[in-house]
Amino acid sequence: MTWTWTYEDADGAAVGSSDEFDNRGDAESWIGEEFGALADDGVAQVRLLEDGTEVYGPMSLAPQ
């Protein structure tokens, strides 16, 4: 299994994706560390995928 994040702009259009992770925990830890940099690069929201199937999302990167 591989886990990846899909990046989207404010309109929900895909603008990129992360590297692959071997497990969900690593993927979630990574997004927790990198969300600020992604938001600075214009990513508005992300979706977590397992082997190409959406697990959850969209998850906003906007400050709460």
pLDDT tens digits, 2-60:
999 999 999 999 999 999 999 999 999 999 999 999 999 999 999 999 999 999 999 99
**C-alpha span between 41 and 55 (Å, rounded):** 24
Q: pLDDT grade, residue 64 (50/70/90)?
A: confident
- Whose tokens are 């992300």? That residue is 46
Measured between alpha carbons, how far apart are the two ends of the chain, in Å? 32
Confidence class for position 63, pLDDT limits 50, 70, 90: confident
Q: What are phi and psi of 37, to 5 degrees?
A: -65, -40
Exposure of 23 in the CB half-sphere (CA atoms within 13 A)? 3
Give all strands of the β-sheet with 14-17 in edge-to-edge order: 14-17, 3-8, 45-50, 53-60
